Structure 1
Amino acid sequence: MKIVKRIFKIVFALISLLVLIGIITLWIDSSGTNYLKITKNESVSNNTYLIKNVNVIPMNQDTVLVDKMVYIKEGIIEKIDDTIVVNGIQIFDGENKYLTPGLIDMHVHVWDRYELGLYLSNGVTAVRNLWGMPMHLRIKEDVIEGNIISPTFFTTGPKLTGSEFIGDDNLNLSNPIEAKGKVISYKDRGYDFIKTYYGLDKAIFDAVIEQAKISEIDIVAHPSQKVPFSYHLNTQIKSIEHAEEIVQQPLQFDLDTIKLQTIIDSISQSKHTSYSPTITVFNNIYQMMMDDSILDSESLEFMNPLIKMDDSKRQFERWFNAKQEDPSTIDRIKNQHDFHLTIVKKLHEAGVTLICGTDGGIGVTLPGFSIHTELAFYKEAGLSNYEVLKTATVNASQTHSIMNQFGTIEDGKIANLLLMDENPLVTLSSLKKPTYVFVNGRKLDRETLDSFNEKAKNRKNLIATAFRYLENLIIEK
C-alpha cells in the first residue's frame, strides 16, 4: 500500500510539474504576441474618422466609385457620398488610392496568434478556421471582446470522421446518437460551424445533418467517400471543400471533362451551396516535388515551427519518395492541378458560387501569403479580376448568415477594408501589399503590417504549440 501511495505521489508530482511547465510556456508564448493586444483606451479611439479622396470598389457591383468620401463610425461604414460633413473627427486622406473590402480566407488552419498578423499583413481581414480546437474558442472570444488586433475569426468544431479514420486529428464517430451529441456540444461551446470529414456513413451523416438543422448551425463539408458526392448538396451544407475531392471521389481520378460536366451540373442545381477549390494546397505537392530545398526556403520561416517540423516534413518526404519510386508522379500531379483549373472554370461558367480558401497553415501552404496564389489561379482559370475578387469578398460573406456584415463597402457594413495604390480590378497583384488594412475600422499602416511579418518569422513556439495541441487531445478526444 505504501508503494502504491508513493507511486501515486510521484505521478501526481510529475503531472503537476508538466502543468506548471505548460502554463509558463504558454505565458511566454502569449507575451510574444503582445503587439496584437489592444488596450481599453485604444479600442475606442481609432475607429471613427472620415476618409476623403478615395476611389471605392464596393464589390456589390462591377464598378469604381470615383473620388468619394467614406464615413467610418465606431468601426461601421456609416455613409459613402461625394461630400460628407462631420465635425470633430479625424479626416484621413485616401490620396486617390483604391478602397476595397478586406479579403476573406474561407479555409485556414490557425496554429498560433502570430498567424493572425500574417493574415492581416496580406489583406485578409476575416478567416474561417476549419479545424477547431479549444485555443480557437479563446481567440474568437478575444476578437469579439476587442482584446486583440485580428482578422474577424470564425471556426468549426473538431473534424467529424467515421470510426475507421483513426488519428489524433480526427473526432471518430461510431453511431448517430454520438454524432448528434457532438453537434449539440459544439454549438453550445461556441463553435460557429460543423465540419464533416472522411468516413461518415449515411446513418451518421444523416444524424449530423438532422441535428445541425435543429441546432441551427451550418455544415462545412470535406466530402465523405462513404456517401455519394451528391449527398453533400444538402441545404444544411453551405460549402464543399477542395476541387481535388471531385477528382478523387466521383471521377475516381479519371480526368474526363465529359464526366466532370455531369458533376458540375448537379452542383449548379444546388443554389445554396458554395464551393471552395483550395487549389494552392494541392499545387504545393507539385512545388515540393520540383524543389528539393523547399523546407529550407525563406518562405517556410513563416510556418508554425511544430507544423514545419512535423506536417511539412512528412508531406515533403511522402512526395519526394513518390517521385523517386515513380518519376511520372510529377506529371500526374501537374496534370491533376491543371484539371483543377478546368473544374474552377466550369463551376464558374455553371453559376456555382466560388469562395476563396487556401488550406493555409498546413504542409507548405503559408498562412496569409497563400491567398494571393489562390486568387491568381482563379484568374488563370479564366475569371475576370472582378470575378476573382468576388470569391474572397462578397461571395465568401454570403456563405453563412453570420458573415453577411462583411464583403462589400456599403452603409451599415463592418469596416474591414483595404487601401491600395493601384486598382485591383486592373492589377490583381496590388492586393498583395495594401497600403492600409482596416479591421473593425482600426487603421493599420504598411509599417505596422510589415512588423507583423517580422514578428512571426522564425518564431520559437514549438513547445507552446505542442501544449495547446495536447490540450486539444485531452479535451476533445
Structure 2
Amino acid sequence: MLALIGVLVLTSIITLWVDSRKTSYLNIDKNELTSNDSYLITNVNVIPMNQDTVLINKMVYIKEGIIEKIADTIEVDEILIFDAKNKYITPGLIDMHVHIWDRYELGLYLSNGVTAVRNLWGMPMHLRIKEDVTNNNIFSPTFFTTGPKLTGTEFIGDDNLNLTSPSDAKEKVISYKDRGYDLIKTYYGLDKEIFDAVIEQSETSNIDIVAHPSQKVPFQYHLKSQIKSIEHAEEIVLQPLKFDLDTTKLQSIINSISLSRHISYSPTITVFNNIYQMMIDDSILDSESLEYMNPLIKKVDSKKQFDRWFNAKKTDSTVVSRIKNQHDFHITIVQKLHKAGVNIICGTDGGIGITLPGFSIHQELKFYKEAGLSNYEVLKTATVNASKTHAIMNSIGTIEEGKVANLLIVDNNPLITLSTLEDPLSVFIKGRKLDREILNSFNQKARNRKNLVASALRYLENLVIEK
C-alpha cells in the first residue's frame, strides 16, 4: 500500500511539473526584449479615462513599469522607442470577477486586453500565481485574489468553506490575510452571527470583503462599510425581489445601494446570459470557442450546467422565455444602477460554465452598452471604476503619471468604436510590451492544452489544504 501511495505521489508530482513546463512560454526571460519595462511611446492618442477626452499626438514615457510622464515632447536618453503611428492608447481592462483554473488562462486574459483580474475563488495555486506575478517572473494580468468562499454550515459542497461558528469565521479571516490572500469572499448560507464575525474581523485585519449575497440575512446587510462590492445582478432578482420582475420594487433596492457610496456593483450579466445560450443551442459544448475552457471545467462544470438547463427546458416549455426575460431585466438593473450613480464594475464570472476566460469581457461590455451607457461610461466599468473599488487597486485603471503601465494600443478610438478593444495591437503589462503575434500564440497554447489531470490534482490540493 505504501508503495502504491508513493507511486501515486510521484506520478502527481511529475504530472504537475510537466504542466508547469508547458506554460513556461509565460515566463519572463530577462535576456529577451519583452522583459524590458521602460519605453518612450511616440505619436499616440491617449485616452486617460480620468476624464472623457482624447489627448491627441502625445508621448508617454514608461520608466521601470510606471508611467513617468505624458507630454507633447519628451527627451529621454538610451530608451527604447515605440512609434504608435497615431494609434490609440487606453488603460488595460480589468475583469473584477473571474475564476482562474490554470496559467494558460493568464495568457487568454492578456490576449483580450485584460491586464488585471480579481479572482473570486481562492485556492493555494492562486497564491503561487500571485507570488510569481509580484516577483515579475511571469507575464500575467496584475493578480488579486480572495481566499476560499466562506459559506454557512448547511451550504455543503467541496467548493465551499463551511463556517461553523463566529470564532471559526474570525480564524479563517486572520489565516487568509496572513497567508497572502488579498480579499475575503462571502457566499451563500452565512447567518447574521457568523456574518457579523467575518465583517468584524475583516475590519480589524484591514481586508476588504467581496459579497455574493447570503440568503440568510436581508439584502441590505451587504451594504456594510467593510463590503466593497456586491456580485451578480441575478442575486437582486433571486433574493430581495424573489423573482418578481417588478421595476417599482427594484427601484427601492437600487436606492438603498446608491446611498452606500463605498459599494461597487458587479452585474456579471454574461454568465447568466450564457444559460440562455445553452438553452437555444444544443451543440454549444462542441463549439470551437469552448476549446478555450479548462479541460476539467469543460468536462465537469460546463457539462453539468448544460445538462441541467437542457433537462429543464424538456420538462418546462416556458423556462427558455423566463430565462430570457430575466436576462432582459438584468439589463434594466444596470440601467437603474447607472442612473442612480452606483459604481458599476465589469465582471464576467469567466472560467465557469461556458463563460470564456478573457473573451467574455467584450460581451459584458456590450451588455452595458445595451443598457444605455455611453462608450466612455462602458469603458469606465473595466478601468477607473474597477480601480476605485479597493485601495490595493488604486495604482491601475487610468493613464496618469505615477500609475502602473498596464496599457493597450488599439487601432481605433474606443470612445467611438468599442469593438477595437477586442483585438489590441499591443499590450503593456507593467511596462513590458507584448505584440499581437505573441498574444495570438497565448491563445493557441491555451486552446491546445491537455491538462485535465493536472487541473484535478491542483483542485485536490485545495480540498486537502483548505477543508
Q: What is the TM-score normalised by the length of structure 1?
A: 0.97
The equivalent of 1:286 in structure 2 is 276
Q: What is the TM-score normalised by the length of structure 2?
A: 0.99
Q: Is the 8 A contact 2:28 2:35 kept in 1?
A: no
Pairing partner for 1:374 from 353, 357, 364 = 364
CA distance in 2, matches of 1:345, 1:14: 59
CA distance in 2, matches of 1:293, 1:434: 30
Q: Is the 8 A contact 2:34 2:433 kept in 1?
A: no
Pairing partner for 1:329 from 294, 299, 319 = 319
The equivalent of 1:3 in structure 2 is none
The ranges of structure 1 where at least 4 consecutive aligned residues each deviate by more than 6 angstroms after the TM superposition are: none
CA distance in 2, matches of 1:138, 1:13: 30
Structure 1 residues 13-412: aligned runs within 5 Å: 13-42=3-32, 45-412=35-402
Deviations 1:124-157 (A, max 9, x none): 0000000000000000000000110000000000
Q: Is the 8 A contact 1:43 1:146 kept in 2?
A: no
1:421 matches 2:411: yes
* Alpha-carbon distance, 1:75 to partner: 0.6
Q: Secondary structure at the match of 2:310?
A: helix
Letter in 1 for 2:101: W
Q: Secondary structure at the match of 2:351?
A: coil
* Alpha-carbon distance, 1:42 to partner: 4.3
Distance 1:447 1:51, change over 3 A: same
Distance 1:43 1:213, change over 3 A: farther
Distance 1:43 1:165, change over 3 A: farther
Q: Is the 8 A contact 2:96 2:386 kept in 1?
A: yes
CA distance in 2, matches of 1:140, 1:45: 18
* Alpha-carbon distance, 1:15 to partner: 2.1
CA distance in 2, matches of 1:44, 1:419: 16
* Alpha-carbon distance, 1:38 to partner: 1.0
Q: Secondary structure at the match of 2:229?
A: strand
Greater CA drift, 451-460 or 187-196: 451-460
CA distance in 1, matches of 2:8, 2:375: 52
Q: Secondary structure at the match of 1:239?
A: strand
Of all paired residues, the percent bearing the same amino acid is: 78
Q: Is the 8 A contact 1:133 1:158 kept in 2?
A: yes
Q: Secondary structure at the match of 1:464?
A: helix
The equivalent of 1:5 in structure 2 is none
Q: Is the 8 A contact 2:165 2:194 kept in 1?
A: yes
Q: Is the 8 A contact 2:34 2:434 kept in 1?
A: no
Q: What residue ranges of structure 1 are gaps of 5+ in the alignment?
A: 1-9
* Alpha-carbon distance, 1:43 to partner: 8.7
Deviations 1:97-129 (A, max 9, x none): 000000000000000000000000000000000
Q: Is the 8 A contact 1:44 1:74 kept in 2?
A: no
Distance 1:317 1:44, change over 3 A: closer
Q: Secondary structure at the match of 1:157?
A: strand
Deviations 1:366-416 (A, max 9, x none): 000000000000000000000000000000011000000000000000000
* Alpha-carbon distance, 1:321 to partner: 0.3
Q: Is the 8 A contact 1:127 1:153 kept in 2?
A: yes
Deviations 1:205-239 (A, max 9, x none): 00000000000000000000000000000000000
Pairing partner for 2:446 from 456, 462, 468 = 456
* Alpha-carbon distance, 1:44 to partner: 9.0
CA distance in 1, matches of 2:78, 2:453: 49
Letter in 2 for 1:116: L
Q: What residue ranges of structure 2 are gaps of 5+ in the alignment?
A: none
Q: Secondary structure at the match of 1:308?
A: helix
CA distance in 2, matches of 1:378, 1:44: 34
CA distance in 2, matches of 1:171, 1:200: 11
CA distance in 2, matches of 1:288, 1:201: 34
The equivalent of 1:436 in structure 2 is 426
CA distance in 2, matches of 1:355, 1:456: 27
Q: Secondary structure at the match of 2:147?
A: coil
Deviations 1:418-475 (A, max 9, x none): 0001000000000000000000000000010001000000310000000000000000
CA distance in 2, matches of 1:324, 1:314: 16
What root-mean-square deviation, in Å, do the aligned CA atoms of Structure 1 and Structure 2 show? 0.8
CA distance in 2, matches of 1:393, 1:154: 15
Q: Is the 8 A contact 1:53 1:67 kept in 2?
A: yes
CA distance in 1, matches of 2:295, 2:78: 47
* Alpha-carbon distance, 1:51 to partner: 0.5
Greater CA drift, 41-50 or 277-286: 41-50
* Alpha-carbon distance, 1:87 to partner: 1.2
Q: Secondary structure at the match of 1:40?
A: coil
